[in-house]
Amino acid sequence: MAIPRVLIIRAPGTNCDFETDYAFSQAGASTRLAHINDLIDKRLTVSQFQVLVFPGGFTYGDDLGAGKIMGNEIRLKLGEDMDNFVSRGGLIMGICNGFQVMVKAGILPGGGQTVTLTGNDSGRFECRWIHLQANPKSNCVFTRGIERLYLPVANGEGKLVAGSATLDHLNIALYYCDADGHRPAGYPGNPSGSLGDIAGISDATGRIFALMPHPERHFKPHHHPRWPRGEAASPGDGYKIFANAVDWVKSL
């Protein structure tokens, strides 16, 4: 069985690439870190991989808005490559800034930019641990077999906004919830004020996925903030997201 090949794409300001690389490696993938210029200059092609990942951070300093510059680079310089990658059945994942990049590149939810991620209702950078509930009706590859997650968020522009017609047709993969799994989550359970408590979405195929919380930051039991009290499970909650991607590629 071939080992799934994962490409983690970074740009100036990316700061979660090594953690994401480690998580996929531990889940059984062969990983490679690459600067976006390696793709633009054709030193590397996405066709060599089965999974593409846009990790968290603050690409280009978020100077024109979170993920905006990298999203434009992808749309204008790599759009055809991304379309071909999706057409042949590849998986794409975005985490936090990677989510922002994907929506501003038009990769999610697909067909151009129909949603955005904007400033948190609190008006501040939100760095806290939150509870998540997977949508059992979603066909998302990455959230298969998951019911609940406990993950950290770290963002200033995490509020998902869209028109009501778009919201009604989104493939919602993850919701913010309270500690008992109830919704609406309210603040700080929904730390950004994201419409509909939406924390992660997928495209119609279930293969393209992005989320604002950081699964790579709760991969090991000791990542849990209360692991010395015996509250952490092994592996950490985020592990299943990476393992699902690897297992799906292996099953092909």
Report how far residue 12's alpha carbon sits from residue 35's, in angstroms, rounded to the nearest whole number: 8
- Judge whether 140 counts as a catalytic residue: no
C-alpha distance from residue 199 to each of 28, 62, 120, 125, 191 (Å):
26, 20, 13, 16, 10
Class of residue 164 by CB neighbours under 10 A (exposed 0-12, middle 13-18, buried 19+): exposed
Catalytic residue among 214, 218, 223, 224: 214
Report how far residue 224's alpha carbon sits from residue 129's, in angstroms, rounded to the nearest whole number: 9
Longest dimension (CA), the chain: 50
Report how far residue 200's alpha carbon sits from residue 245's, in angstroms, rounded to the nearest whole number: 15
Report how far residue 96's alpha carbon sits from residue 143's, in angstroms, rounded to the nearest whole number: 16
- Judge whether 80 counts as a catalytic residue: no
Report how far residue 233's alpha carbon sits from residue 252's, in angstroms, rounded to the nearest whole number: 30
Report how far residue 173's alpha carbon sits from residue 251's, in angstroms, rounded to the nearest whole number: 21
Catalytic residue among 96, 131, 157, 223: 96
- Judge whether 96 counts as a catalytic residue: yes
- Which residue has 């968020």 as its token pair? 153
Q: Report DSSP state, residue 64.
A: T
Catalytic residue among 126, 177, 216, 223: 216
Q: Which residues are catalytic?
A: 96, 214, 216
